[in-house]
Structure 1
Amino acid sequence: MNWLNDNVNVLTLIGAAAILILTIGVAGKYIKQMKTDKSGGELTGDNWDGVGEYKNPLPIGWSLSFIGTMIWALWYFFMGYPLGTFSQIGQYNEEVTQYNQKFESKWANPDHATLMGMGEGVFLVQCAPCHGITGDGMNGKAADLTKFGTEQFIVNVVLHGSKGQGYPLGEMPAGMLDESSAKAVAAYITQDISKTGTKHPELVETGKALFATCAACHGADGKGMGGSAPDLANFNKAGFVVSILNHGKKGVIGEMPAFNDGRLTKVQKIAVGTYVDSLHE
């Protein structure tokens, strides 16, 4: 790539060179003065443990550099930046947008095998460094993805709370129900709300009555009241993974970013969720 063929790059390089020259010149001048000049002038009258302050004027070199930088910035943003002309940066952004549109169109209705292959590729690059190749969280360093979407996962969330997803209604506190009640609520959610099926159908009715504690945030239907809280109706492994990818999460080893900045398309998120769904315990 020829950097000088792009007006944006040329302007950026000129600005960088000017700032570098000014920095070296001004710094050199005042370092030299520090070695030769002696303090003097009128004191301000303030005194801190015997240390006074002179009423010295603002250094001319610093003032000119500051004003020049401000003038350059205003000119660059309002006049110098070629908004209506060719830019390699703009061309790159347009090409990325066009490619993503073609990608979404091509894979609008992928079959399960395609989602698995696509999801595995994205998972190994984006997720495995923290969650491990097998998705087990590498001994607690990150979330164990093999347990997502299960009844036991819901029980753990009810008992220990959930933090770091940034929903409007805030974080879910720990200890809202005891373990037996949490199991009943998990049975109700998986049986009647997410409809993924429960291993404890005998607890569903009890869980339905206890769900009133959860409905305050998740809504009576469990759908999260328009995005104010997680949608429990979409609480299968694939759906929950997509939700995490959209919102991000604060974990033990750091903060997982929200993948809603164009790094992953909608179908890629679904593919990752489909692949994680295959990571059984």
Structure 2
Amino acid sequence: MSKAPKKFDNDPSTTGHEWDGIEEFNNPLPRWWLWVFYATIVWGIGYTIAYPAWPGISNATAGVMGWSTRAIIAADLKEAEDKLAPINAKLEAAELTEIASDPELGPYAVSAGSAVFKTWCAQCHGSGAAGAKGYPNLLDNDWLWGGDIEAIYTTISHGIRNEDDDDARYSEMPAFGELLEKEEIDQVVNFVMSLSGEAPDPSLVAAGAVVYEDNCSACHMEDGTGDREQGAPNLVDAIWLYGGDYDTLKETVTYSRYGVMPPWSRDASSAGRLTEAQVRAVSAYVHQLGGGE
């Protein structure tokens, strides 16, 4: 049985509750604390009336002041666009080949193109544009569709193998696993590897050359240097988009590859995301990275 606490004459009254012999004094809150508490209630009610506050199904209450962070950002963006409108108009009107030599347009295009690249292109091509497996390196001179600024501009505008733009770059390699015997695939892979290095099985190279001539030379050319008009890769420079080891090349020949790039120009396709000035700027940026021709 718990011992009742000692009481004094000057003790305040209790709340009337008791827990295991423990009673709670009925001390009122300080008046200053109460007034602050009431003030926060009033402030909170006023805030929810004046500003966006209560979430709904599709949006929040707007508030009587009509304040919006999105509207502020939109206004800031509109102000920036208005300031850049003259030079963007000049960029859109300029010949692509003359942008780099223009003392005003050249630096602007590279700076603006860098921002576009980091926002829209770096996810696939890397922040430094060195690419990754299946995503082209933009720093070298190996270009499937051409590396001059006009070719780069066309590729960015319309994309590659997409279904959104009728002018997209398009090529399709057959899945030779459905057309060739397994030994023929082994032979042609050894031949292709011999074009830029050493074949794993040199005894298969001669037979592979015959398979190559019959099935691959129409696109990759007889000497293996490829054809940019068809988007057919160069097979003699030891630069490989998906990898140049035996297993990877065998997989490529057997199943084919089908990389897709979206169209970026709004003018070229409704699916495009970039303005004409932005497409030209990022084209100039990519072209000057070191691999542009």
- TM-score range relative to shorter protein: 0.3 to 0.5
Higher RCO by CA contacts (8 Å cutoff, separation 6 or greater)? 2
